[in-house]
A = this chain, B = another copy of it.
């Protein structure tokens, strides 16, 4: 393992210290916990809290700020934060209008965020939850009952964050969340495994001429391992699978997020985006939102994912374009 770290067991603490030092204008860390807070909360606004295991940087702390999240609760690498840490995040994010928890669909996260919700409700904080399960690769993978939550979660942060910023109520935000999540789908491809610092070797190995479709952001198994292929072929496979789920028609409005998994340079992400473009244009889609970069990574995994959102309401696009002050959007 070749990494720029110190003791592997200190990675979370040192990373969060480095983060809040670098962005002390925007963020604070609650004591020595994994709770990263927006420095300037807005009174009367619905609080948005997300989080989960670390190793997906810039998610989720990179999306804390005006117009997105109020708190990110950062667990150890690839491990859910505890209910009491999430509860602390909820307490700080509550500005009197209740809190929505945005949870990626992993059994540990779902359990711990739900327990934190119970703790908060005992303190009379109104809490709603939304579970994001955008990964169409597989059902019931490692750590997950049903589909996994991956990069599409960032689109959920953005759309709900804009709604909260504009003054929507908790019930309105919950209704919006329920409307958008079924319209967000993601599929990825991995060229290498990810190395958890405390483990010291990749979670899985791919040969020099192999790739795997549908690998999760913790290295969970995908659906097909095959020989490396040109970007055009990868785009065809991934767009084809997404099309099969969305069943889109010419003229439908979509948004597109190409997400690097951690070790894949922008050069490759842009080449891939160009191949995606040709397929979506051939189908006559009206693509009104696009973004390329590292948003939801798997530590140092090489590869990328494609997320698409069927934009059923123009207000969703307005929310995607709404101004934010965060590190990473």
Spell out A's residues near B (CB within 8 Å): 2-7, 11, 14-19, 21-24, 54-55, 57-58, 62, 77, 189, 191-192, 208-209, 211, 228, 230-232, 234, 258, 262-275, 277, 290-292, 294, 297, 299-300, 302-304
Contact = CB atoms under 8 A, between A and B. Distances in A.
Nearest to A207: B2
A209 B2 CA distance: 7
A81 B3 CA distance: 34
Contacts of A211: 2
Contacts of A234: 4
Contact of A271 (B15, B272, B274): B15
Contacts of A299: 265, 267
Contact of A267 (B57, B209, B264, B265): B57
Contacts of A270: 14-16, 18-19, 22, 57
A65 B23 CA distance: 23
A231 B269 CA distance: 28
A21 B290 contact: yes
Given A3-B268, A4-B234, A6-B231, 14 more contacts: A2-B191, A4-B191, A4-B264, A4-B271, A5-B230, A6-B271, A11-B267, A15-B270, A15-B274, A17-B274, A57-B265, A58-B266, A263-B265, A263-B302
B22 A291 contact: yes
A299 to B, nearest CB: 5
Given A2-B191, A6-B230, A191-B2, A22 B273 contact: yes
